[in-house]
Structure 1
């Protein structure tokens, strides 16, 4: 499990988002025919982390003159382009887990950061007039058995007892009948509602990158895997199959594949395979009967129903596979039939009145993607302690949409010389010497929406 994750597969599956972006001008994009001879800053990876870091660098104060972004495959072809389109902060759920590892102060900061991320996401989308189907809603967590309900109740209570903000943010529905009525889930044991959102992730990334290219001179090079980054006096030499060039600073936005170029992350950032599906709902969940919220369901499943077309994006089903088949797996070319069946069968069981599906209704397509899980369930963000002018933003733990925007903004400021304290980010996100020296462990358990690699404190 501590082996190098290697490189992204050359012929991956196409997600719902990528299927519907075949007209993108960024497919195969290379801003210049040849690689630059030198740059001020080079970003490796073109998912939301890479795109947002480029955006905040180039639109911030004293922007660097020459920024390059290298992508091994196509733009947004990794975890961001394969996720569930869910922008869903954790408003209480994993508090107990974080507190056990990092203490009360940091646990509260981790939860607050996710609320800040949702707000910043909405702010940037509005400021830049980004058409990415962004939708704000009040989303429920829906436990469907007593162990999950007990875990969520305990975490909620500990969060409240420690001064965590819930007034006007989290609505707790403990009456079982009311929870079932409010969620349309006949097996609900309770529910927790809080702010969330959804969007079309590829469109967000494509807009940010296009803006950076057209207005701020970003040099984007797709189909250019980085094979090595070698220290030199005053910076780094970036080596690719198309040649090499010099850069003053380098940023690794490589998520599950970070340990390929940075071996010190082996055993700390783990590839983890997930699956997601596009579902055409029956009439009972279409038109005026559509779901009005996004959901976290039962045992790690989650969904959004897109207001623009009514298609449900539904992900999860990890519990049907042995962990060993998912952890360390970098194959996003194919899906596991067992997970496909679980995704197909779940919604009729979860939701009341999900009638028999007509021709072309139900699950119409599913795909796989590779997430970057970490031992503690939080990302690595900051300057590498033993590599001056090298920075990382990776290991978002299948929860990047609720973390990346603030992480990218903070990291861009740090790259430009700001202090960590000025970013407002949790100190525990930093890739410190102590954090990377800690023994690696890979225990996977499930808390609410997300599987967590770390200590097994939640319901299995």
Structure 2
């Protein structure tokens, strides 16, 4: 593993399926003011879902700050948010055993509940703000494809139920392999678990919230403005000086929504938040998986693969293929400029093997586009959210472990409340998310091991 800091987001990144469809966006190159503001009440570093949602909840909540600035190193939301699988897929039981072992029963139950709360909040905000982002809400399958994976899920489910975790009307186990194969259309299935999930166009969600905050609430967005350093303010007591290539901004509060790149600005997170390179693809399905034959659920498949089928056009967004590459080439990797041919080929070959009746692809069908993205993995598999313990007025919402779509909305809402002086207890977030001194002083060697545990059936981003 490489202990160097992650540096900065790369210039000229690959273009995801989501970003291909938004080349007409007025947010490209957007700077609300030609010059960098001299000061701000709250400055947010990063314009992915973490930064945008935090700004939204600050500006639409009670007593909004008089000024909020978002600084983005590249274009708006073209980091992990603009490159993910479009999957909002709560963990309703799967990693309970892992969370319980690390954080205890109470916190483990809160982590699982928080993910369902996030799905509800996501749906609430999309409806409230009338956001056109292809939001679909339904169900997903976990589909293990060997005995070990089935045993892992069965054990976690059983322990979750034994500890009082809610499953009635939420999680439906399908433990008979024949029934699982028929229900999921996966001939290698050894079991299946059905539970709530959603899919959406992530960039359109953040773009809508950005435009709303800029036009109605005075948000100042500055794209292509990488932050090089944040130091205590020397001009007046308290606050922070945020140094960029375009000048320095003085701010009372700074929010690190920097995910994989956090340790560049906050060295204490080195070894606690790791960049991890992932890969996704857009697939045009054959006729058997189109029209009336479209998949009715999203999926977590085998070891670390995941997919949604978009209801508007039938395109399948398929990600994973991590077993085709040594983990050492993905962990610590910030290069999202291109793709690995081995991963692209693994994605190309996987769906005909996973699904029954995936006939030979005609010209124009099959994998049509692949791209990469950089996630922020943590040693414990959970994010860092809250005020930094030794930096008054400095806050973080980062390290979502490839699972941000199922976590960020509630984390951002809670963080906005804390920034405005609310108590942690009022946020409803798990206490283990806080960036405490104890978390940052703990050894971080387990990150590779945790990747293995959490990828046993599908990433959920």
- Please tell me the TM-score bracket, short chain as reference: over 0.9
2:422 maps to 1:422: no
The aligned runs of 1:370-381 (5 Å cut-off) are 370-381=374-385
* Superposed CA offset, 1:218-256 (max 9, x none): 000000000011102220011000011200000000000
C-alpha distance in 2, partners of 1:60/1:420? 17
Whether 2:294 is the aligned partner of 1:285: answer no
Q: Distance in 2 between matches of 1:67 and 1:381?
A: 19
Residue 54 of structure 1 aligns to a residue in which SS? helix
Q: Which residue matches 1:177?
A: 178
Matched, 1:11 2:15: no
Q: TM-score, normalised by structure 1?
A: 0.97
Q: Deviations over 1:90-114 (max 9, x none)?
A: 0000000000100000000000000
Instruction: State the match for 2:457 in structure 1.
Output: 448
| 1:336-351 mapped onto 2 (5 Å cutoff) | 336-351=340-355
Secondary structure of the equivalent of 1:169?
coil
Match of 2:229, SS state, is strand
Partner of 1:458: none
SS of alignment partner, residue 115 of structure 1: helix
* Deviation of 1:447 (Å): 2.8
SS at match of 1:237: strand
Counterparts of 1:44-193 in structure 2, within 5 Å, are: 44-193=45-194
1:257-293, Cα deviation, whole Å (9 max, x unpaired): 0000000000000000000000000000001110011
Distance in 2, matches of 1:345 and 1:272, equals: 23
Q: Does 1:269 align with 2:247?
A: no
SS of the residue aligned with 1:188?
A: coil
Q: Say which SS state the counterpart of residue 81 (structure 1) adopts.
A: coil
Q: What 5-or-longer segments of structure 1 have no aligned partner? A: 453-460
What aligned pairs does 1:176-325 form with structure 2 within 5 A after superposition?
A: 176-232=177-233, 233-325=237-329
After TM superposition, where is structure 1 displaced by more than 2 Å over at least 4 residues in a row? none
- What is the DSSP-based 3-state SS (H/G/I as helix, E as strand, rest coil) of the residue aligned with 2:369? strand
Report the 3-state secondary structure (helix = DSSP H, G, I; strand = E; otherwise coil) of the residue aligned with 1:275.
Answer: strand
Residue 410 of structure 2 corresponds to residue 406 of structure 1: yes
TM-score by length of 2: 0.97
SS at 1:450's partner residue?
Answer: coil
Moved more, 70-79 or 434-443: 434-443
Contact 2:403/2:460 (8 A) holds in 1:
no
CA deviation after TM superposition for structure 1 residue 326, in Å: 0.3
Equivalent residues of 2:51, 2:70 under 8 A apart: yes
* C-alpha distance in 2 between matches for 1:70 and 1:24: 18
Say whether the 8 Å CA contact 2:90–2:460 is kept in structure 1: no
For this pair of structures, how many residues does the alignment match? Answer: 452
Distance in 2 (CA, whole Å) between partners of 1:97 and 1:320 is: 25
Q: Report deviation, 1:451.
A: 9.5
Counterpart Cα distance in 2 of 1:37 and 1:174: 61
| Aligned mates of 2:424, 2:379 — CA distance in 1 | 22
Q: Which of 404, 423, 436 is 2:440 aligned to?
A: 436
In 2, the alpha carbon distance for the partners of 1:176 and 1:37 equals 63
Q: Is the CA contact (8 Å cut-off) linking 1:273 and 1:332 kept in structure 2? A: yes
Q: Deviation at 1:47?
A: 0.3
SS of residue matched to 1:82: coil
CA contact (8 A) 2:406 2:460 kept: no
Q: Which one of the candidate residues 376, 381, 386 is aligned to 1:382?
A: 386
Counterpart of 2:30 in structure 1 is 29
Cα separation, 2, equivalents of 1:299 and 1:324:
17
Q: Is the 8 A contact 2:306 2:460 kept in 1?
A: no
Deviation (angstroms), 1:138: 1.1
Q: Give the Cα separation in 2 of the matches to 1:132 and 1:419.
A: 32
Helix, strand or coil at the partner of 1:213: helix
- Is contact 1:93-1:447 (8 Å) kept? no
Cα RMSD between the aligned structures? 0.9
Contact 1:94 1:447 in 2 (8 A): no
Taking the aligned partners of 1:21 and 1:372, their CA distance within structure 2 comes to 24
| 1:357-377 per-position Cα deviation (integer Å, ceiling 9, x unaligned) | 000100001000000000000
